Structure 1
Amino acid sequence: MTRLTLRPYRATDRTAVLALINADRLPGQPEATPGMLAQALRGESPVDDNWWAELDPPTVQVATTADGDVVGVISCALRSKDDTGLILWAHCRENATVAEKLIAHALAELAPRPVEAFQFATALTLGLEALPVGHRPVTRAALERAGFIGERLWRYMHAALPRPGLPQADNVQIAPEPERKTARQLQVHRDGRTVAEAVIGEPVQGIGVLWWIEVGPKARRQGLGRALLGSALDTLTGLGATEAILYVDDDEPPGGERDRTAANALYESAGFSEVDQLWIYVRPTMTTDPAPE
């Protein structure tokens, strides 16, 4: 590849940048649109909006070749309250040279303060928090070479809809979810109490999200979790979804406080399969300046 140059994003870069983003699109994720990109450029997101509100306005740089072709893009920001830098999102068609160039630029801009990378979901995805390391091995390697330390955070799973054969829960009430504008809450009531609930996201481009499902301790081991999952997926199908995704925070080993062995078994038995594992990255404060670009 010819010599790369980084410069600020321009409106005329939109088509090329969307192509870079969509080249990394995972199964179960919507195609990034101009509206989604505009929101990401502003540093906004329909998910984790409270975290985005803590950031200074982001900067977005593109990597170009000598011919002017846009081959990479990266968005960075500062969180002034704790003087931490963040790599918000980056795409480069998994080209090692471009990935290293983008990360070197981010560190030149953000270091020597601590830098976090891929910490929360952007407007470019449907709640995809952290870096999918299986599909982005080059970006992962570039981060690690630059001194970032990774931590596995989520298991990302996908299933086609409908899922026939799953049971349905009785006495399910469906209402808007108070914390998400485009989500619905399913609750199962017994004797005037809520004993189980699930939250689903209204479909985007035919893709629905199961944000979470929980069964109270006294109602467990009665098949209610599986039945509520069936009701949630059936509701998504009724809303027009042809695919469903979910995120399992199984970063603790079996036997830990947040052991997700049972949850993983439930989702797998219902037809969900793992697409990738999602990792976040942190680079601690460095005593020496990052290498020049």
Structure 2
Amino acid sequence: MASTTAEAATQLSIRPYAPTDEAAVLNLAGADRLPGQPLTTPAMLAEALAGRSPIDTGWWAELEPPTTEVIHDETGRVLGVVSYTRRPSDDAGFILWLHCREDPAVAEALTAHALERLGTRMVHAFEFASALTLGLEGLPARHRPATLKALKAAGFTGRDLWRYMRADLPIAGLPHAAHVTVTECEDPPGRRLEAREGGEVLAEATIGRPVAGIGVLWWISVAPPARGRGLGLALLGSALDLLTGLGAREAILYVDDDAPPGGAERDRTAANALYDRAGFTEVDRLHSFTRRP
């Protein structure tokens, strides 16, 4: 859709989301879909509208039920949607998710409207992973330039938090870890892999149950005494093979490489090198935002 002009923007109206808006909102979410993300389904949208998510469940439980509103033109055509809420524990506001086909005027109007309704309080944006996506915590800055610009123009400060990566499955040529045990886990729902030696856990990984052929590597770590032996790459090979066996045709992962300099315990240099070596490619960087009163 071509960018809405300032003159046309004056004819836009905002109203509460209605069930008849479902198809339009699904199309808006689909227009913003990133590689490695499933199409948003009616069931996923229903969860997001209710303020629930299979990821970051505890954070969502602290929020009030969200308000979701759509913006439309004089013909009634829905051009965008925004969902926002408040957290009673600290009175902070949250813009949870926003879609507008990256129309600058619509992004600005939805952002301004949510801030007006949230009032003079601390407001965070794109802080948690919603049910609309598969763990996408943050705004993909390169793919959402109009929304990024609207947030910054409204006084939000961004934080570059995550590296979002994907790869096609299966990946040939990766080693596999010996003595791996696999157990079910529920938070997040999926499988936990542990590489053991003499009964001691040397490395572990968590994968998600595939959704629409997409599997997630949520976490992989190697104990300090076992590092430098290739165990991380071997466990990654085992985890990706398991995802393939569960029906995944592609895999995604998130690297939280926002640790400050000198933070050795959270240093993700080795993790980034591991995923690059395995054939993962970066799709985007994920940002969260804060606006102070």
Pair in the same fold by TM > 0.5: yes
8 Å CA contact retained: 1:254, 1:261: no
Any unmatched runs of 5+ in structure 1?
Answer: 286-293
Counterpart check, 1:198 vs 2:199: no
Offset at residue 260 of structure 1 (A)? 1.1
- Is 2:36 the counterpart of 1:37? no
Question: Which residue in 2 is equivalent to 1:234?
Answer: 241
Q: Which of residues 207, 214, 230 in structure 2 aligns to 1:207? A: 214
* Partner of residue 272, structure 2: 264
Asked if 1:65 is matched to 2:46, the reply is no
Distance 2:136 2:187 in 1: 18
Q: What pairs with 1:57-96 in structure 2 (closer than 5 Å)? A: 57-96=65-104
Query: What whole-Å deviation, never above 9, does each CA across 1:63-100 have from its counterpart, x for those lacking one?
Result: 00000000000000010110010000000000000000
- Cα distance between partner residues in 2 of 1:232 and 1:90: 33
TM-score, normalised relative to structure 1: 0.95
Partner of residue 163 from structure 2, selected from 148, 155, 167: 155
Q: Which amino acid aligns with 1:70?
A: V
Partner SS for 1:204: coil
Letter in 1 for 2:287: W
Distance 1:159 1:33, change over 3 A: same
- What is aligned with 1:47? 55
Q: Cα deviations across residues 187-238 of structure 1 (Å, max 9, x unaligned)?
A: 0111111111000001000000000101101111001000000000000000
Give the share of equivalent positions with the same residue, in percent: 60
Q: Deviation digits for residues 28-55 of structure 1, max 9, x if unmatched? A: 0000000000000000000111100000
**What amino acid maps onto 1:168 in structure 2?**
H
Query: How big is the shift at 1:251?
Result: 1.3
Query: Would the aligned equivalents of 1:254 and 1:260 in 2 still touch at CA under 8 Å?
Result: no
Structure 1 stretches of at least 4 aligned residues deviating more than 4 Å after TM superposition: none
CA distance in 2, matches of 1:254, 1:241: 36
TM-score (norm 2): 0.95
RMSD over aligned CA atoms reads 0.9
Structure 2: how far apart are the matches of 1:254 and 1:113?
A: 31
Q: Which runs of 5+ in 2 are unaligned?
A: none
